[in-house]
Amino acid sequence: MTAAVKSLHPPRALADASLVGRDRLAALEEVAARYAVAITPAVRRLIDPADPNDPIARQFVPDARELDLQPEESGDPIGDAAHSPVEGVVHRYPDRVLLKLVNACAVYCRFCFRREMVGPGRGGLSRAALTAALDYIRAHPQIWEAILTGGDPLVLSPRRLKDVVTRLAGIGHVKVIRVHTRVPVAAPERVSAALVRALRSDKATFVVLHANHPRELTEPARAACARLVDAGVPLLSQSVLLRGVNDDAETLGALMRALVECRIKPYYLHHADLAPGTAHLRTTIAAGQNLMRTLHGRYSGLCQPAYVLDIPGGFGKSPIGPNYLSADGALVEDFRGRRHVYPPRQ
Ligand code: SF4
């Protein structure tokens, strides 16, 4: 994990880098004792310490409000544990599984839905557990897609990634391998030629980039994404709707356009999960639906992600609108908000 070597971890280091005031240190030490903290040099460079509302800082710099827990929040907000037949595997939907290889990330997002499970030194799947996980996938022919997640699988060495990809690709019924990562943004230098080669196999491999603000798509991040796309690895994106980060139409639209310009198709806009201590970062679903309406009205179809909610308890993702069709199906709304009878009267 070379990218993490120069990362800022304890709140003291954040104070030394002028990212937090020393008067906040005691509270932030308490936050850091509970939830992992890491900010890579690439992310550090994006933060403007003079801006108290910096949208990048809001995502990565710990905040005392993380100690305020709400009754509806949960350490496992999307119910991974209820669908984990063997260590490292989450089998929620019939045709796909999550394979959680590692519990570390290059950066730790303050809104992370797995924040109680990820952190430096939390390790990952042992060799024996990985073999058992692959045996499970092999024994279930309905599994068409394997999704590498974690933690962030791209903190692993190219050698270890190659080993996993090769073994997954060797399972006949696994046709698609999907990799969820924040590394091209958080540590673009890790997306080396060796790492790109490690992801390639004779199966379709997609990389899903997690990015939440257009400023994250720096030149090095764009170059890292281009290395993947140029090598024949299609890119999709997932973003989390976050208060004070991307909950306005201009920022969200600029993010989606920047992604498409990088040949990354926006895939999901997640409503923020009920992770512990994250209420200050969540918006309402009504606000999210209004933003989606604005995106639909102003931006190309290529810039439209699906707005989804992971239903607490492990029931899976559902698209949550907005809806353009009246309940009886007789009226459909256009992008300007005008209603039309369907089918048209003759
Ligand atoms: S990179 Fe993903 S798994 Fe890691 S802290 Fe951020 S949201 Fe959580």
Q: In angstroms, what is the span from residue 261 Cα to ligand 1's centroid?
A: 24
In the predicted model, what is the mean pLDDT of residues 44-69?
A: 96
pLDDT of residue 123: 79
Q: Tell me which of 5-19, 166-180, 268-282 is least confident.
A: 5-19
**E strand or H helix at 189, and its extent?**
none
Out of 92, 115, 162, 215, pick the active-site residue.
92
pLDDT of residue 5: 47
CA 74 to the chain's CA centroid: 18
**Kind of pairing, strands 145-149 and 204-210?**
unpaired
Q: In angstroms, what is the span from residue 345 Cα to ligand 1's centroid?
A: 51
Q: Tell me which of 17-31, 132-146, 170-184 is least confident.
A: 17-31
Task: Give the mutation target among 182, 209, 213, 239 for probing the ligand 1 site: most ligand atoms within 8 A of CB.
Answer: 182
From 20, 2, 103, 102, select the one nearest 60 (Cα to Cα). Answer: 20
CB atoms within 10 A of CB 91: 18
Q: In angstroms, what is the span from residue 17 Cα to ligand 1's centroid?
A: 22
Q: In angstroms, what is the span from residue 154 Cα to ligand 1's centroid?
A: 12
pLDDT of residue 265: 98
- Check pLDDT > 60 for residue 21: yes
In the predicted model, what is the mean pLDDT of residues 129-142?
A: 98
Out of 93, 160, 163, 267, pick the active-site residue.
93
- Check pLDDT > 90 for residue 146: yes
In the predicted model, what is the mean pLDDT of residues 50-69?
A: 97
pLDDT of residue 148: 98
Which atom of ligand 1 lies at the shortest distance from residue 149's CA? 3
Say what the pTM is: 0.96
**Contact 105 CB / ligand 1 (< 6 Å):** yes
3-state secondary structure of 273: coil
- Structure confidence by residue, pLDDT tens digits, 93-132: 999 999 999 999 999 999 999 999 999 878 789 999 999 9
**Share of residues in the chain with pLDDT > 90 (%):** 94
- Check pLDDT > 90 for residue 3: no
For residue 52, name the pLDDT band (cuts at 50, 70, 90).
Answer: very high
Q: Is 208 exposed, middle or buried (0-12, 13-18, 19+ CB in 10 A)?
A: buried
What average pLDDT does the chain have?
95
Which atom of ligand 1 lies at the shortest distance from residue 114's CA? 8
